[in-house]
Every structure is written in structure tokens, then in C-alpha cells.
Amino acid sequence: MGIRLYNTSTRKLENFRPAGKVVKIYTCGPTVYSEPHIGNFAAYAYWDFLVRTLKANGLKVKRVLNLTDVGHLVSDGDTGDDKLEKGAMREGISVWEVAERYIKRYLDYYGEMEFLPADVVARATDYIDEDIKAVDLMTSHGYTYETSDGVYFDTSKFPGYADFAKLNLSGLQAGARVEFSDEKKNAADFAVWKFIRPSEQHEMRWDYLGRPGYPGWHLECSSIIHKELGEPIDIHTGGVDHIPVHHTNEIAETYAAYGRELSRFWLHCDFITIDGQKISKSLGNTYSLDDLKARGFLPMDYKMWLLSGHYQGTRNFTFESLAAAKQRRLNWRNRIAECYQKDVAHDDGVFEKILEAVNNNLNSAEACAIIEQSNLSLDDWKKVDELFGLKLIKDTPDVDSEIYDLLRERQTAREARDFTKSDEIRDKLLTRGIAIRDTADGAIWQYAE
């Protein structure tokens, strides 16, 4: 059947094949200005699953992830505070230190979530020369105009501007989607470059057109893609919130600068809510992965929770459903542990069925159902672990040598009817997360976490 993906630009499920030998993927990454909450990791977990699915199909992937470490304004338009400046003020450090601090946080968390590392992790501040070249190109092609506060993209020059997000430009209210200023020619026009006024506090600055300034926030993605992958790429990913402004503007900029389509496929994931409400500081529900850990849940439990649903659905997070995901993960590990300890009867072709499910627009929920309903061989479990990236097996061999020594010791103690020692060993194993179950066939171990 091959791989089918829902393409936002056509609003259809389409057969997917890369245009060249390698699947070129770009993921809009985080703005690194504050502690990430669990919602921020949803997209990266889904796109990690996308890459793993493509690889399970034998495809080669080149994936680029950007880190927005430069002037990204709080609003989607071109006004409001700069997020990094806000972070610097809040924490009493420089914007550069804010970026360093949160880049490290994100990359550490990515490791804990077992995300496959991107082939290129691109920091926006490393692409300023490309940004400037792109603005020059857009200008030479007649797509921009200058105002007192920046260089703006004239959306009326790009006839397909409204198509991607199906925007109703004539009904666009000033201030509703983007801020309107007297100097803007059309309400939808956006800054590709912002000037810094003498009175303005803005630490990150580069000289262009004889004055200090910084790039508009959509530009970094067009520039990074142009340099690292080349248009058109095969798949561009992001959250649904990126459709009306950020991705619409990336498409326009790439077309204006290079005369090319940006991406063949566009994938967008929906938002997660917590207890039915949006994630927000004022509601006190901006849980981080560390907050989950403090409540006894590993990042892998959260990943299992995410993959138990579909990337296009609005997901509602509760701690009860997270507990169910944790239970599922432990159950899968115990099934694997059992496979390591004895010959378990298995069904044929289970992984092929799982792959067929996920090839249908990344239906990880359906894959989970198949895993629940089938008996998997150890070989199938290894493939499942690779596909889901849940570290189900990765830890098992580490545990193996240690626990088998203890298991043997315990068996010897039991045979010598030294139950005090055998209980001691049981307790010791328990502190290592291993529970012993005595069965008619002898003792078997399970993960006790």
C-alpha cells in the first residue's frame, strides 16, 4: 500500500514518496526563551515517529530542526515584546544566555524523550547572512517595501498568498490576525526585517541597510531550508498554529526570493489540552517533563501517551490517562521480559500489520491496538521498539547480566531453603525495579517500576 500522509496544502490523504533518494524533512523548532511544557513536546514526538516510520519503510531521511534563538515577537504579527528579551528581563541575564540556557534544556529533554537526533540542528542566529541575502532577493524581485520600522512583504504581489491557509484576506480585520499600521499597504503584509529604533532595547542586532535590525521570525525557516536542504523539500512539519501565519509567510518568502515551492507535503499536529483546558501559565497547568517525573512518570510514559493517540486529534491530557499509558509501557516491557526468559508462542506477520497501520497517516493508535491484540516474537518487539522509540528493550540487556546473577543466587538460596536470603535478594531486585514472580515453571522477573 505504501505510505499515505495527510497533506495540509491539498487537504487530502496522499501517497507519499520522496522526490529524490533521501526524504528531506524540516521541523519548525522551539523558541528558546522559557521552560518548555509538555505541549511543546507533542509535535516533536509525532515528528520523531514520522521519521521512524519512514526509516521502518527502508527510506533514508535528512532532517533539519531549527532553534529560534533570535527576536521572535510575542504576537504572531510584528508587534509586541521580543520573547528572548522578555526571558532576559525575567531571569536577569543576557538574551544570549537565555538562548544557551533553554537550548540546553530542550536538547536534554529531547534526549530523555529518545528522539532521533536531527541531522542538522540549525540556530537562527547562524543564518543571518542568508536572511539578508533573501531580503535582497525579495526586494530585487519587487516583493518588498520599506517603512519606518522595517522591510515589509507586500502580500498583494503574491497571488497565491491566501491559498495555503484558505485565508479570507478581504475580511481580514486590522489587528485580528496581524497588527495594522498606517505604513502597511495591506493588512496581511508582514516584516521580513525589523529596524531597531534608537530608543528601543534590543540586544540582538545586525547591521543592514545602514541601521541596526533583526530578521522577521518566519525568515529563518526559509533561509535554513534553502541552505541546508534546498527547495522543494519533501515534508515540512509544525503545529496547526503555524498554518495561518508562520507557514503561510515561509511559503511566500521562499517563492519571492527563490521562485520555488517550499515543500511538497505539509504535516500539522493538533494541540493538546490538560483536563479539558488549554495549557497556560494563568491556569497553572504548564507541566514540564520534570513535573511529570516528580509525580512518578518517565518521559517515556508521556511519549507512550502521545503515541496512543493520533497526531491530528485534539488530545486531552489527564494524569489518569498518563497512568494508563505508563501501565501499557510496563506491560509491553514485561511481555518482552517474558520473551527473553522463555519461548513464547507468537503470531506471524504482526510487525507487517503494525507497519501497514502506521503507514496510513501515522496511525500509531491503531498500531497500539494491534500490539495489544497479538502475540509478538522477540524480533517483532525489537522492531516495535525501534519504531516507537520507547527504550523498551534498550534497558533490558543492561538489566540482564546484573539480575541474572541475582536470580541465580536466589534460586540457589531457595533450593537450600534459605528463605531469609532469598527474600533479601528479592528486595534487592525490587530496589532495582525488578519484581520476581514464582510460577509453576520457576521464577520469572518483571519490571516493577
- Report in angstroms how near the CB of residue 205 gets to ligand AMP at its nearest: 23
By C-alpha distance, which of 133, 135, 153, 151 is closest to 143?
153
3-state secondary structure (DSSP) of residue 343: coil
Least distance CB 31 / ligand AMP (angstroms):
5
Least distance between Zn ion and beta carbon 335 (Å): 40
Residue 145 interacting partner from ligand AMP, Zn ion, none (CB closer than 5 to 8 Å by kind): none
CA distance 297 to 290: 9
Q: Binding string to ligand AMP for residues 210 to 249, with x set by CB under 6 A, is what? A: -----------------------------x-x--------
Q: Smallest distance from the beta carbon of 42 to ligand AMP, in angstroms?
A: 4
Inter-residue contact 210 to 94 (CB < 8 Å): no
Which residues in this chain contact Zn ion in the complex, by CB under 5 A? 28, 221
**Whole-number CA gyration radius for the chain:** 26
- Least Å from the CB of residue 147 to ligand AMP: 26
Rounded to whole angstroms, how far apart are CA atoms 80 and 260?
A: 31
Nearest to 46 by CA among 237, 187, 184: 237
Stretch near ligand AMP under the rule CB under 6 A, chosen from 18-26, 37-45, 282-290, 399-407: 37-45
- By rule CB under 6 A, what count of residues binds ligand AMP? 11
Q: Which three cell numbers mark 9? A: 496544502
Report cis status (omega within 30 of 0) of the bond before 232: yes
Q: Which helix (H) or strand (E) holds 406?
A: helix 395-415
* Among candidate residues 217, 252, 225, the one with its CA nearest the CA of residue 125: 217
Here the cell at position 109 is: 529533554
Nearer to Zn ion, 28 or 132 (CB): 28
Taking CA atoms, 121 is separated from 39, 71, 107, 205, 222, in Å, by 21, 18, 10, 22, 15
The answer to whether residues 310 and 272 touch, using CB atoms and an 8 Å cutoff, is no
Beta strand 434-439 with 442-447 is antiparallel
Residues 6+ apart with CB under 8 A from 426: 410, 436
Q: With respect to ligand AMP, which residue has the nearer C-beta, 265 or 287?
A: 287
Exactly one of 8, 9, 27, 31 binds ligand AMP (CB under 6 A); that residue is: 31
Residue nearest to ligand AMP (CB): 239
Q: Given the rule CB under 6 A, which of 34-42, 136-144, 193-201, 302-310 is the region that contacts ligand AMP? A: 34-42
- Residue 235's binding partner among Zn ion, ligand AMP, none (Cβ under 5 to 8 angstroms by kind) is none
18/309 with CB nearer ligand AMP = 309
Stretch that binds ligand AMP, among 36-44, 140-148, 164-172, 297-305 (CB under 6 A): 36-44
Binding partner at 221 among Zn ion, ligand AMP, none, C-beta below 5 to 8 Å by kind: Zn ion
Q: According to CB under 6 A, which one of 224, 272, 298, 357 is a site residue for ligand AMP? A: 272
Q: How far is the CB of 40 from ligand AMP (least distance, A)?
A: 4
Rounded Cα distance between 186 and 169, Å, is 9
Q: What is the DSSP letter of 282?
A: G
Binds ligand AMP by CB under 6 A, chosen from 18, 39, 213, 216:
39
Site residues (vs ligand AMP, CB under 6 A):
30-31, 39-40, 42-43, 239, 241, 271-272, 279
